[in-house]
Structure 1
Amino acid sequence: MTVQKALISGASIAGLSTAFWLSKAGWEVTVIERASTFRDGGQNVDVRGIAREVLQMMGLEDQVRNQTTTEEGTAFVNEKGQTVGAFPVEDSDGLTAELEILRGDLARIVLEALPAQVQVRYGDWIEHIVDHQEHVEIDLHSGKTEIYDLLIIAEGVRSRTRDKVFGDRVSRRELGLNIAYGTIERQAGDDRWWRWYTATGGRQISLRPDNQGTIRAMLAFKDRDRNLAAIPSEQARTELSKVFAGAGWEDSRVIDGFATSQDVYFDYLTQIMMSTWSEGRVCVTGDAAWCVTPIGGGGSSLALIGGYILAAFLSQPESNEAGGIPICLNKYEQWMRPIIDKAQHLPPGAPNFFYPQTKIGVGTMQTFIRIASFGPFRKLAARIGHVARTQQQLPDIRLVQTTT
């Protein structure tokens, strides 16, 4: 059997997970990443649903457990910092998942677990693609032209390569939410809970513990007419300070912290919907294919699952037959579609209910949270975090190498 070659564009969780399993299945795998080096840091992500089973099969669960953020639960607070409702970790997939970890830590764990023969090259990206019937020809920014049996695009929600290939078959659902993320200093009063505050004007502030002695902060606000991710960072920070002036609770602390933080970044939440995830010998996976946003939740889990499912179908002998790769890609899509469609279906009232404009709206939401946090209702409320679950069985994968 001929050894097949795959190029994966994107070295975050989706791309690295796919590289891990595809290499284990006997493919020759190269990963390229536009960034010049590995991107550490980032905010909290989690491993939920059947992604925990995938993580166990990778042999990486213990490593993830050893690097969790130590978060003990989610607490909603009022403008004075008083708890309105608390949701401790009682459910492995509750508001705070059992496996909470920083994005960079999870990506590095997978990166370091890659089989030795996987090539990972930074500072390069795709300029042009010619999808032939028997192979895909790729021109890289570095000047190289390379030939592969398959191109996998795992570049994230704003993938340029995906747009080159699929064009107007990529649909975007903008949620009208701006979110700024950053790392600020921990203070004596900070604990191991995710503190979440909602102010009038569709504004939210949250503080989350990490395992590095700092706090991961978030400022979010609803505004369909303003996209801070589309303007220069310094201008966006200035706009952010205006939006959150007088919001209450820890507003000044976070704004001041973001002024000097080295890792502040902005996002304008956008779901990605595509009528198909593959064409010929090119396919997409992860956020490039189906971004669910933090409102839908489970993005990192779906990235882990997608990498396994894609490799499982490509590990079958038919992938080596004439016309076999498109058949395998179609099976991957058929398996993943139901779980993605469910994740992209937002909770009732989202996002408007969770970003109220008035005092009455804030009070209504706080009453809802207070009731939901009572024992009899808490388990029901925790089901909001039940993403990446399915009744489907994971398909078998034909491994050439065993996992560690």
Structure 2
Amino acid sequence: MRNVLISGAGVAGGTLAWFLARDGWTVTVVERAVGSRTGGQAVDVRGVALDVVDRMGLGERLRAERTRMRGMSVVDGAGQELYRSEEFTHSSGRLDSTDFELLRDDAVAILHEATADRVEYVFGDSVTALTEDAHGVRVEFEHGGFRTFDLVVGADGPHSAVRRLAFGPEERFSTHLGQYLAIFPAPNFLGLEDWQLWVRHEETGGAVYPVRDNTELRVTLGFGSEPLPPMSVAEQKRLVAEQLAGVGWEMPKLLAAMAEAEVFYFDAMAQIHLDRWSAGRVVLVGDAGYCASALSGQGTSLALAGAYVLAQELGRAEHTDAFAAYERRMRPFVALNQALATENPTGGPSEESLARAKNALTLG
């Protein structure tokens, strides 16, 4: 029986854990957070990723948690409606599509629930060193101790520790896309009912939509910027408030809610590009290897598809050949989906480009 360490308990890590455990691997997942991560935005499951979740037997469960938007409006700083649609939303696309949108934390929780009885999860820890020899990879952990695994998978996001240890510093692989996003939950003080609102003002703006049966808002605020130095959460919140102070509309209330938010995400919109996704017995999957950014709308689908293909190839061959086959199959798919983020950064890609990209992979 082969054993594998997966760093990261997000969508990519949870999906890979499911398939490898099914195939008889001994799977350990280490996650820096103290439990399944909460918060975050709504994410999309599209195209070939729909087949992945159905092959896991989780399609019905995930679809049951889908958002239920009736449409969206775009408003200006005075609250005047500039545009509305009952056919699509900027976040999820066409409302009559078989694709679906759900909260990231719901997706992660479902994957954890589906794997918890056959996968070892180690929360509140992270990988600090990797040493490979002919027989495996010795992994050292932040909170002490080491273990040896046949393979190590970095599924730990765009700021991957595994990638840094095995491939080099992040700045060698990260391409900044000129924007930053802040995401946080808030009470539904706007009284929205299954309806998205978007506001835009010069290079700043945001989106607000209700979740959890309209009891909660998820708020996304963004602004244009060159790369910023590391900051504390308090500094991040102050910067967001400064950047969006002049937007108008309900922004003062949203910024006040942000100041109180205990769950808060802030990061640059960036893509990850590497010449190779494996080094010896270490391999990357999802955002760690080929982050497309939230601007693509395809990060979750890339994670699902990448995890499936990697597990499938590991079931066919030893790791060296399996990693090579994984890259051959995934690279064209990744390239098309990363291109969605830069096709039209302010308005999203065309329906034609999205349809081509989301289906550009054969699962086999």
Partner SS state of residue 147, structure 1: strand
Equivalent in the alignment of 2:20: 22
Equivalent in the alignment of 2:135: 134
Counterpart AA for 2:206: I
Equivalents in 2 of 1:234, 1:347: separation in Å?
Answer: 29
What are the within-5 Å matches in structure 2 for residues 205-284 of structure 1? Answer: 205-211=206-212, 213-224=215-226, 226=228, 230-284=230-284
Residue 137 of structure 1: how far off its partner (Å): 1.7
Equivalent in the alignment of 1:197: 199
What are the within-5 Å matches in structure 2 for residues 2-401 of structure 1? Answer: 3-89=1-87, 94=93, 98-114=99-115, 116-167=117-168, 170-187=172-189, 189-200=191-202, 202-211=203-212, 213-224=215-226, 226=228, 230-316=230-316, 318-319=317-318, 325-346=319-340, 350-351=344-345, 353-354=346-347, 381-383=350-352, 385-386=354-355, 389-395=358-364
Residue 55 of structure 1: how far off its partner (Å): 0.8
Counterpart AA for 1:159: S
Rate the CA distance shift 1:252–1:9 in 2: closer, same or farther, 3 A: same
- Higher normalized contact order (CA 8 Å, seq sep 6+, divided by chain length): 1
Equivalents in 2 of 1:237, 1:392: separation in Å?
Answer: 40
TM-score by length of 2: 0.91
Equivalents in 2 of 1:13, 1:88: separation in Å?
Answer: 29
Counterpart AA for 1:195: L
Of 97-106 and 18-27, the range deviating more from structure 2: 97-106
Rate the CA distance shift 1:71–1:59 in 2: closer, same or farther, 3 A: same
**C-alpha contact (below 8 Å) 2:158/2:272 kept by paired residues:** yes
Aligned residues: 359
Equivalent in the alignment of 1:372: none
Partner SS state of residue 177, structure 1: strand
Equivalents in 2 of 1:171, 1:7: separation in Å?
Answer: 23
**C-alpha contact (below 8 Å) 2:285/2:307 kept by paired residues:** yes
Residue 107 of structure 1: how far off its partner (Å): 0.6
Rate the CA distance shift 1:328–1:315 in 2: closer, same or farther, 3 A: same
**C-alpha contact (below 8 Å) 1:50/1:388 kept by paired residues:** no
Residue 84 of structure 1: how far off its partner (Å): 2.8
Equivalents in 2 of 1:28, 1:292: separation in Å?
Answer: 30
Describe the superposition over 1:130-174 as per-residue Cα deviations: whole angstroms up to 9, x where unpaired: 122332221223332212111111110011221111016941100
Residue 232 of structure 1: how far off its partner (Å): 1.4
Describe the superposition over 1:340-363 as per-residue Cα deviations: whole angstroms up to 9, x where unpaired: 111111456633x55xxxxxxxxx
Counterpart AA for 1:126: V
Q: Which runs of 5+ in 2 are unaligned?
A: none
Counterpart AA for 2:176: E
Partner SS state of residue 33, structure 2: coil
Partner SS state of residue 273, structure 2: strand
**C-alpha contact (below 8 Å) 2:183/2:265 kept by paired residues:** yes
Rate the CA distance shift 1:346–1:46 in 2: closer, same or farther, 3 A: closer
Rate the CA distance shift 1:4–1:71 in 2: closer, same or farther, 3 A: same
Counterpart AA for 2:186: I
Rate the CA distance shift 1:388–1:132 in 2: closer, same or farther, 3 A: farther
Equivalent in the alignment of 1:373: none
Residue 95 of structure 1: how far off its partner (Å): 5.6
Partner SS state of residue 256, structure 2: helix
Q: Which runs of 5+ in 1 are unaligned?
A: 320-324, 355-368, 370-379, 396-404
Rate the CA distance shift 1:94–1:386 in 2: closer, same or farther, 3 A: farther
Indicate the RMSD between aligned Cα atoms, in angstroms.
2.4
Describe the superposition over 1:7-41 as per-residue Cα deviations: whole angstroms up to 9, x where unpaired: 11111111010000011111111111111222123
Residue 90 of structure 1: how far off its partner (Å): 6.1
Equivalents in 2 of 1:188, 1:13: separation in Å?
Answer: 31
Equivalents in 2 of 1:255, 1:387: separation in Å?
Answer: 38
Rate the CA distance shift 1:196–1:80 in 2: closer, same or farther, 3 A: same
Percentage of pairs with the same residue: 31
Rate the CA distance shift 1:154–1:188 in 2: closer, same or farther, 3 A: closer
**C-alpha contact (below 8 Å) 2:128/2:161 kept by paired residues:** no
Counterpart AA for 1:101: L
Equivalents in 1 of 2:233, 2:273: separation in Å?
Answer: 28
Describe the superposition over 1:308-341 as per-residue Cα deviations: whole angstroms up to 9, x where unpaired: 111001012x32xxxxx11101101111101111
Partner SS state of residue 177, structure 2: strand
Q: Highest CA radius of gyration, 1 or 2? A: 1
TM-score by length of 1: 0.82
